[in-house]
Amino acid sequence: MEPIIQFENVSKAYGGVKAVEDLSFSVRKGEIFGIIGPNGAGKTTTLEMLEGVRKPDRGNIHVLGLTPHKQMKELNKHIGVQFQSTSIQKKMKVREALELFSSFYKNPAPKEELIEHFHLNEKLDVTFDDLSGGWQQRVTLALATLPRPKLLFLDEPSMGLDPHARREMWSSIQSLREQGSTIVVSTHYMEEAEKLCDRVAMIYNGQLKALNTPRQLLDGVTAHYLSVGSVQIDREFLTSLPDVVKVEQEDEMFKVFSNDQQKTAYHLFTYCHEQEIVLTDFKFEKGSLDDLFVQYLEKEPQT
């Protein structure tokens, strides 16, 4: 199947700062494609070039068969965009925002369908300023779908949301894909990429570091660890256990990275049994995309 996005050897710089450097990837119809990386990695610049807002310095970009920066007017008929921050008047009611944005399009999606899909009925007469962060993001996502887009761009859709609101946002995005939308989402939340995306492009300093499904990327994680919880042991002791590479601590929980997890666990349990130490928590954990990203960064040459 011909990709609906082709991003080939693209570079973009601002002054002497390279935001994107020789970046290539493609997006297939019907998938949720993630562009992941830390703040400043080049994610927003990449989206802006895909949307036609910015012109690349080098390389070729084709979206739905169009060249974005040359055919932006035509492209806008077929895409929806949720920006990191959408400018909506603070005192505008949700109902008014839907009516206003709907007037921008020749054949918008029926407002009643969007109200039902995003469960907005109880918020229609609430001003944007009085909505919680989660509801604001839900409203801006609804506005992005008004043009019945073939392709939807979401720039950090769950930034600043609490865990519950974030999961509600993920559910809304997944339901849009189920209805046939192709979605490109940028995020620095690695858990979001794991939960949402069919494939992810991991970028750092504007360069591609990895591209695959989350599951296949996780198969390459070497950062597996023992999760250990106890108030009776300390970091120094855990570091002294056989084959331990490093220990990370957060409150009373420890991540124990080892070259031989079973051997390390055996010595840990033996010691705790002899000293009558109680472990409040213990798990063999597999690394996340977050761990994988740290793993890639550790390989970066130091400047």
pLDDT tens, residue order, the chain (303 aa)? 679 999 999 999 998 899 999 999 999 999 999 998 888 889 999 999 999 999 999 999 999 999 999 999 999 999 999 987 766 888 999 999 999 999 998 899 999 999 998 999 999 999 999 998 889 989 999 999 999 999 999 998 888 888 888 888 899 899 999 988 999 999 888 788 888 999 999 998 899 988 999 888 877 665 678 999 988 888 899 999 998 988 988 888 898 988 888 999 999 999 999 999 989 899 888 767 777 777 666 666 554
Out of 218, 234, 255, a domain closes at 218
Could you list the residue range(s) of the whole structural domain that residue 46 is in?
Answer: 5-218
Contacts (Cβ under 8 Å, ≥6 apart) of 224: 257, 261, 284, 285, 286, 287
Judge whether 290 lies within some domain: no
Contacts (Cβ under 8 Å, ≥6 apart) of 2: none
d(CA 148, CA 99): 15
Out of 199, 218, 237, a domain closes at 218
- Residue 117, domain CATH: 3.40.50.300
Judge whether 152 lies within some domain: yes
Judge whether 292 lies within some domain: no
If asked whether residues 38 and 112 sit together in one domain, one would say yes
- The model's pLDDT over 254-272, given as tens digits with 9 standing for 90+, comes to 989 888 889 999 999 999 9
Judge whether 298 lies within some domain: no
Judge whether 280 lies within some domain: yes
Out of 218, 244, 264, a domain closes at 218
Judge whether 301 lies within some domain: no
If asked whether residues 165 and 60 sit together in one domain, one would say yes
If asked whether residues 51 and 72 sit together in one domain, one would say yes
Judge whether 294 lies within some domain: no
If asked whether residues 41 and 118 sit together in one domain, one would say yes
52, 142, 157: which is closest to 102 by C-alpha? Answer: 142
If asked whether residues 117 and 203 sit together in one domain, one would say yes
Number of compact structural domains in the chain: 2
If asked whether residues 201 and 129 sit together in one domain, one would say yes
If asked whether residues 196 and 64 sit together in one domain, one would say yes
* Its pTM surpasses 0.75: yes
If asked whether residues 159 and 200 sit together in one domain, one would say yes
If asked whether residues 159 and 213 sit together in one domain, one would say yes
If asked whether residues 43 and 91 sit together in one domain, one would say yes
Judge whether 142 lies within some domain: yes
If asked whether residues 206 and 241 sit together in one domain, one would say no
If asked whether residues 56 and 183 sit together in one domain, one would say yes
- The model's pLDDT over 170-184, given as tens digits with 9 standing for 90+, comes to 998 999 999 889 999
